[in-house]
Structure 1
Amino acid sequence: MSHRFMFMAASLLAFSTLAQSTLASAAPKYEEVAARYVTTTCAIPCDKPQNSSWYFWRGENRVEIRDGSSAVGEIWRRDGKGRLNFVYVEPARQRGIEYNATDLRIINHKRPWDRLASIISPAELKKLSPAGDAEVLGHKAQRYRGKMDQRTVEVVWVPDLQLATQVINTYPDHQVTTELESFLTQQDGVMATSDDQLAEYELVDFADLGDMETNASMAWLKQATAAPGHETHEH
């Protein structure tokens, strides 16, 4: 699983204070969300759909995504200046690889925060046309539809959560559907990785990855092929 996004921001120096104030007041507030999504991919006509489930946890400045087996995941964190850092994690083995903002820029793995936090960004949503109302698990929702590049896009958007609960991308030869399956509760027994838990993980800095792979005790790094930029350090 891979989920792929970009982050860019700019402002004129003369109006930086005003611009930052305006952006701060206009920035959406992200309520905490814990959910399970399913992504379905199939060729058209859709005879043999392939399904993959994944977990999604969101806080004001933190997003964690984990595959349905909890084998691998990714944690994105945003600091007070809007800079992102990223951790590739293997929760079952309590280990991972840390990337700072510079690392993400070098390997071109930057992501826009609003898309990470909302599945589809509000800017992308504005390119689509309203297509009616809906309801999703007790939340009022809005449908959108339109064209982007070479695909038709359909979205179900929950305004009070600032969250897409369904995104259908239809290409000429295949379709990819991502849909909210359920909100998680304590009874599901699946929790986001806490900072205390992450502090107990065996974490490697991405910048040190090449050197660490030669250490016999760190042989697992060579198998961490889902980690972004991994190919950069292959021998």
Structure 2
Amino acid sequence: MLKNLYLFSILLILGLTACAQCSVKPLQIQSQQPLPALAVEYETVISFDDTDQAQQVYLWRFYRAANRLETHNLHDNSGEIWTRSVYGSISYQRVFHTQQVIIDYLPGDLKAIGAKIDWLALSTLLDSDMIESLRSDTQAEFLGRPATHYKNSDPNKTIEIVWLEQEQLPALIRRTEQGHTIVSRIKTIHALHQSPWALPDSADYSVTDFADLGDKENDAVIRQILPKLKAGHSHAR
């Protein structure tokens, strides 16, 4: 979904330290800018109550700079890029590295398809709908970094988050609902300028405007990627 680029959830199982003196408080995302520039690799695991369904595992990377956010899904070699102009307008690109194709969504396209754009939510991988019911219950440590564990109280739709306050990112998230559990966790985190992975180079890819997709439905590559696009096109899902 455009709202949240691969929206991904994370588990908490690593040594949380109970803190009887900790006050229960909501998770509050800091609004000051810029947030720390980071390169992060996540693992997402989807498990099902139905044991006949195989567990699904995905690796993906998140790159955050002041006015540019990029994800790279290593499973299917695709990604998303969000950019913010000096005037505050936000553009979006869906990137298919194997096909070397970019689908370009201008700010007007995002508005036309009803995409809810929140730069802070995109930058922190969390939005207000996800965190409004969360309350802290323990202090934690994750990869040597201080963190706080938050959870909600809805037994039908449980959410747990381990939040890195300094980095302003979830280290772990666990969501359980409707017979499945989605767990994502940081495997490794680096300052962006010290990233061990080069940003995917898409400078020479073919670019198609989202508004022009209807004129290119007979193109073999466009037909291949259409099912992976989100919202706003008659053949997208």
Residues 29 and 149 of structure 1, relative CA distance in 2, 3 Å threshold = farther
What is the Cα deviation at residue 121 of structure 1? 3.2
Letter in 2 for 1:169: R
- CA drift at 1:184: 5.3
Which residue in the other structure is 1:200 paired with? 204
Q: State how 1:101-112 maps to structure 2 within 5 Å.
A: 101-112=107-118
Find the counterpart in structure 2 of residue 5 from structure 1.
4
Query: Which structure's relative contact order is higher, taking Cα pairs within 8 Å and 6+ residues apart?
Result: 2
Tell me what 1:191 maps to: 198
Q: 1:46 to 1:131 in 2, by over 3 A?
A: farther
Find the partner of 1:151 among 157, 161, 175. Answer: 157
Deviations 1:16-36 (A, max 9, x none): xxxxxxxxx953431111111
Unaligned runs of 5+ in 2: 6-29
Between the aligned partners of 2:73 and 2:124, the Cα distance in structure 1 is 18
**Given the two structures, how large is their TM-score scaled by the length of structure 2?**
0.75
How far does the alpha carbon of each residue in 1:86-124 deviate from its partner, in whole angstroms, 9 at most, with x for none? 101112443211001221232333342222111213674
| RMSD, aligned α-carbons | 3.1
Distance 1:3 1:180, change over 3 A: farther
In structure 2, which of residues 123, 127, 141 is the aligned counterpart of residue 121 of structure 1? 127
8 Å Cα contact 1:29/1:60 also seen in 2 = yes
Structure 1: stretches of 5+ with no match in the other structure: 7-24
Offset at residue 206 of structure 1 (A): 0.8
Is 1:78 aligned to 2:74, yes or no? no
Q: Is residue 41 of structure 1 aligned with residue 46 of structure 2?
A: yes
After superposition, give the CA deviation of every residue in 1:162-198 in whole Å (9 maximum; x if it has no partner).
Answer: 11111111225221111111125899853224xxx44
TM-score normalised per structure 1: 0.76
- Structure showing the higher helix proportion among its residues: 1
